[in-house]
Chains A and B, each alone.
Chain A
Amino acid sequence: MLFEDGNFGLFRDGFLRTVELSAASAVLALLLGTLLAAFRVSPVPVLRSFATVWVGVFRNTPLTLLFFAVTFGLPRVDVHLSAFVGAVLALGCYTASFVCEVVRSGINTVPVGQAEAARSLGMTFGQTLVQIVLPQAGRAVLGPMSSIFIALPRNSAIAGAFNVAELYSVQQTLSERGYAIFVLFFWVALAYLCISAAVGLAFRRLEHRPAVAR
Chain B
Amino acid sequence: MTETADSGPKALVELTGVNKHFGALHVLQDINLTISQGEVVVVIGPSGSGKSTLCRTINRLETIDAGRITIDGEPLPAEGRELARLRAEVGMVFQSFNLFAHKTVLENVVLAQVKVRRTDRAAAEAKAHALLDRVGVAAQADKFPAQLSGGQQQRVAIARALAMDPKVLLFDEPTSALDPEMITEVLDVMRGLAAEGMTMVVVTHEMGFARSAANRVLFMADGRIVEENTPEAFFTNPRSDRAKDFLSKILRH
Contact = CB atoms under 8 A, between A and B. Distances in A.
A142 to B, nearest CB: 14
A121 B87 contact: yes
Interface string A112-131: 01101111111110010001
Kindly list the 6 A-B residue pairs having the minimum CB-CB distance in the complex, ordered from nearest: A122-B88, A121-B112, A117-B98, A113-B98, A120-B92, A122-B116
Interface residues of B, number: 30
Given A122-B164, A136-B101, A214-B144, A117 B87 contact: no
B134 interface: no
A41 B160 CA distance: 26
B100 A114 contact: yes
Contacts of A114: 98, 100-101
Given A116-B94, A135-B102, 5 more contacts: A111-B98, A113-B94, A114-B100, A123-B84, A124-B80
Interface string B98-139: 111110000000011001100000000000000000000000
Nearest to B111: A131
Interface of A: 43, 111, 113-114, 116-124, 127, 131-132, 135-136, 214
A120 B91 CA distance: 7
B131 to A, nearest CB: 14
B120 to A, nearest CB: 17
Contacts of B85: 122
Main secondary structure of the interface of A (DSSP, over half): helix
Contacts, number: 68
B64 to A, nearest CB: 16
B61 A116 contact: yes
Contacts of A119: 61, 84, 87
A111 B96 CA distance: 11
B96, B100, B102, B157: residue with the most chain A Cβ atoms closer than 10 Å: B102
Nearest to A124: B84
Contacts of A127: 115-116
Contacts of B87: 119-122
B81 A120 contact: no
B102 A120 contact: no
B90 interface: yes
A118 B18 CA distance: 25
A117 B90 CA distance: 12
9 contacts: A114-B98, A116-B98, A120-B90, A123-B116, A124-B84, A127-B116, A132-B100, A132-B102, A136-B102
A170 to B, nearest CB: 45
A121 B87 CA distance: 6
B164 A121 contact: yes
B59 interface: yes
B100 A118 contact: yes
A119 B164 CA distance: 13
A136 B102 CA distance: 7
B99 A117 contact: yes
Contacts of B116: 121-123, 127
Nearest to A128: B84
A122 B81 CA distance: 9
A119 B116 CA distance: 10
B100 A120 contact: no
A195 to B, nearest CB: 32
B94, B98, B111 interface centre (most CB from chain A within 10 Å) = B98
A6 to B, nearest CB: 53
A132 B99 CA distance: 10
Contacts of A121: 87-88, 91, 111-112, 116, 160-161, 164
A122 B101 contact: no
A117 B100 contact: yes
A180 B92 CA distance: 72
A135 B115 CA distance: 16
Nearest to A136: B102
A119 B76 CA distance: 14
A25 to B, nearest CB: 29
